[in-house]
Chain A
Amino acid sequence: MNEPQTRRELLGHAVRGTALLGLGGLGALLLRRADAEGAWRINCDLCINSRLGAVGIEACELCASQCVLPLSAVRAVNDHARCGRCYICPAYFDVKSAIDERGLPSLKLCPRDAIERKPIGWIDPDDPANNYYEYTIDEERCNGCGKCVLACKEPAGLSSIRLEVRHSLCLDCNRCAIALACPHAAYLREPPRPSEAAR
């Protein structure tokens, strides 16, 4: 580039230099707020379906209904280490339905039949109630409605089921429809913070 020839060119250089400096300054300001690990996450201590103390309510199904995907990116996940492996799981069975001939509730709670139940460990040949059962959620079927999450909570359950964002499906929308709809601000985009005591 030659030496600036005219006053106009000189002015142009000055304006461009100022603009680039300004953008650099903006970048530096933003870097102070920057964080590498932004992803949408559910804070289970705020989500009404898993929050301790929130009982006697209807399950909040906004995670299933608000996502822009045809099948929501939110799924229920069973943390097996915390699961009670109950014979009559309140999240698997609709415990208010009639008892059938096996002595179990006749209906399942999941509207999409996404939970699989199988006996594990040493199996008592005579008494099925004496067994432990493993409950696995089929993530192809689950749409994250949260009914099982709410059912597997006090007083009936141990809260081993929670809602989670499937990052393999999440489109990472800048304006997440679920986050905007969530009435409890439990759907957040931020790095995880240490858990607070359940409210």
Chain B
Amino acid sequence: MKPGGPLTTSPSPRRHRTTLAALLLLTLGGTPLLAQHQYDYHRPVEAAPSEADIGEGYVTPVVQYHPPRPQWHAALDVGLLAAALLIGVWLVLKRRSRAGLLALAGACLIYFGFYRQGCICPIGAIQNVAAALTDPDALISYYVIAIFLLPLIMAVLFGRVFCGGVCPLGAIQELVLLKPLRVPNWLDRPLRAVKWLYLLLAIWLATRSAATGADSDPTFTRDFIICRFDPFVPFFRFAGPTYMLLIGGGLLILALFVGRPYCRYLCPYGVLLSLLSRFSWRSVNITPDKELDCGLCADACPYGAIKNLRAERSTCLYCARCFNYCPRHRVRDRDPQPSTTTPSD
């Protein structure tokens, strides 16, 4: 499809075969999408008086209407997500700065959480993707595809930088973590399996009506449970069902003492991220140069992600906390002329 081509003339979604890059060009180029944003609505109108009937130069007022969010807003969101992911990688792997990462996480919490009100997020996008893959009637927007894939691609390359620096659900838990307690292994392991079950359940419920088609079926049963039981979105919106406010509040209180309970034990997107980051190209190196045997980092990690004094790629949440506890890191920081050689693997 040519940029500026007739995106709007064809109601068939199948024709919109274009790449994300072309979409971004199209939307950033400011091509207005003059689509008709309402359903056609036909009623017999012979009885309605015309302007001439009414007389005295009466002019029919325009129908009140507010168009949907412009497309460039969506493109901006995707761009901001990509930028935040790259900045997060740079802050953690190059600058090794916990303060910088916290600032990034706070900014993302404000933008993606409180300003954009938490919708749509990559976690919830799992369900849209599952529905679009199985249901021929389900559509998915370019925006959702990009939001879903970008953190996964970054996980393959650099690990779970989305969790540490960008995800507003992660950020809100990171910021409230007051006094981390160690979750014993016998409890930690089974709890970590819960998010797998949650993911499978969410996919099943999101694809359930695939066979019947959702449009006119009154027994439409598809449900997006990840969104329904999203614990922190009610806080972002200052509105929500009471039981969700209670669950979210409870999880936040738990997050004072247990590091990121939602991310570690419930987040279905965390399953995908941990799978893809297992073999990531780059990952967090705790010491900047020389490894020590002190184990201070392992005690400092509230997420139990440091095994054998190495950050485990699949569970490391890119919080950069361990850097601040590493003696080598402090030595290097105090060194007025830090060595210019990069740390060897």
Contacts and interface: CB of A to CB of B under 8 A. Distances in A.
B224 interface: yes
A85 B16 contact: no
Nearest to A79: B63
Given A19-B276, A158-B48, A185-B216, A36 B141 contact: yes
Interface in A37-58: 37-39, 41-46, 50, 52
Nearest to A46: B216
Nearest to A189: B139
A164 B65 contact: yes
Interface string B212-231: 00111110100110011000
Contacts, number: 212
Contacts of A41: 37-39
Interface stretch (A88-96, A98-106, A165-173): A165-173
Interface string A22-38: 01001101111111111
B68 A37 contact: yes
A127 B40 CA distance: 38
B220 A185 contact: yes
Contacts of A70: 239
A83 B63 CA distance: 11
A78 B60 CA distance: 11
A84 B48 contact: yes
A170 B228 CA distance: 17
Contact of A16 (B119, B142, B279): B279
Interface size class of B (residues with CB under 8 A): 35 or more
Given A136-B61, A193-B11, A171 B237 contact: yes
B156 interface: yes
Given A36-B142, A184-B218, A185-B217, A164 B38 contact: yes
A35 B214 contact: no
A47 B199 CA distance: 34
B156 A19 contact: yes
A19 B279 contact: yes
A69 B239 contact: yes
A195 B41 contact: yes
A191 interface: yes
Interface residues of A, number: 78
Nearest to A39: B68
Contacts of B217: 185
A172 B121 CA distance: 12
Contacts of A77: 63-65
Contact of B19 (A31, A136, A167, A190): A31
Nearest to A68: B239
Contact of B13 (A34, A78, A82, A183): A34
B30 to A, nearest CB: 14
Contacts of B224: 174-175
Contact of A36 (B7, B119, B227): B7
Report, nearest first, the 5 A-B pairs whose CB atoms are least far apart: A195-B40, A121-B54, A175-B227, A175-B224, A39-B68
Given A173-B227, A185-B214, 13 more contacts: A23-B149, A35-B141, A36-B71, A36-B142, A37-B37, A37-B141, A38-B141, A50-B41, A121-B56, A123-B56, A162-B41, A191-B35, A192-B40
7 contacts: A23-B149, A30-B148, A31-B18, A36-B142, A159-B43, A175-B223, A185-B215
